Amino acid sequence: MAEKMTVPEVVKMKQRGEKITCLTAYDYSFARILDEAGVEILLVGDSLGCVVQGRENTLPVTMDEMIYHTRAVARGRTHALVVADMPFLSYQVSTEQAVQNAGRLLQKGRAEAVKLEGGVAMRHTIMKITEVGIPVMGHIGLTPQSIHRFGGYKIQGKVKNQREAILLDAIAVEEAGAFSVVLEGMPKDLAAEITGRLSIPTIGIGAGAQCDGQVLVIHDMLGLFQDFTPKFVKQYADLKGVITAAVKDFAREVREEKFPGEEHTFK
């Protein structure tokens, strides 16, 4: 990817029928690697609460933590679009607070867009944030900040009324001015229907192959986080295995006085 990825360019990718790739990143080193590998979108997800901080869900993540991680990711980005998640309670209390917090993620975190969860209920909020020039990525379906309302990480949209509600959410997000929308944890035919109905790109996670793009949590797809692996995760590498073997080699060589060798030592 030679050109800088921008919000209009992401939208054009859907129009050209090109698939969009998105991975989460939480720090400079990972951001650089993913950016150089050609991923279009780096999402600083509030999933960092689980995979970086070891919390049981995303609810405790704060604005200050999101800004800290977004700034680190932005330093590693050259081509990719950096999208920062709005954490729980940073946008639900009032639209004024939502606009201010979205602005902080751009001003202090150097994100280029924000993502927030919710459809019809967030319509006005998305409208207000986009009105001040901040691009918004929506997120509907299995929205992790509503885990207690769902009673766990359960696939949404399996029954008729849920399905209709999710479709209305998708339409509301587009009409409110979002430039794209994450479809999480829903039947593939519902995601395909939404993808066909919307002119903005859909980015799927546990939503089948018909979405305009796909997103995964980097720790899941690299096999770094193995506390819980959802069905929709494909593990492309076993970095936990690689790291464990390297750490064991290091410890053994230190104990056997093989490291540091002459080549790692100053005269």
130 or 202, CB closer to ligand KIV?
202
117 or 174, CB closer to ligand KIV?
117
Q: CA distances (Å), 176 to each of 143, 144, 168, in order?
A: 18, 21, 12
217 binds ligand KIV (CB under 6 A): yes
**């209009």: which residue's tokens?**
8
Closest CA to 64 of 94, 87, 30: 87
Strand 213-216 versus strand 202-205 pairing type: parallel
46 binds ligand KIV (CB under 6 A): yes
Q: Do 86 and 56 touch, CB atoms closer than 8 A?
A: no
Q: Do 82 and 67 touch, CB atoms closer than 8 A?
A: no
- Contact with ligand KIV (CB under 6 A) among 13, 83, 194, 205: 205
45 binds ligand KIV (CB under 6 A): yes
85 binds ligand KIV (CB under 6 A): yes
141 binds ligand KIV (CB under 6 A): no
45 or 157, CB closer to ligand KIV?
45
**216 pairs with which residues across the strands?**
23
Q: Do 223 and 24 touch, CB atoms closer than 8 A?
A: no
Count interface residues toward ligand KIV (CB under 6 A): 11
Separation CA 38–CA 106 (nearest Å): 22
Query: Among 44-52, 172-180, 225-233, 243-251, which window interacts with ligand KIV (CB under 6 A)?
Result: 44-52
CB of 66 to ligand KIV, least distance (A): 10
Site for ligand KIV, rule CB under 6 A = 24, 43, 45-47, 85, 182, 184, 205, 215, 217
Catalytic center residues: 184
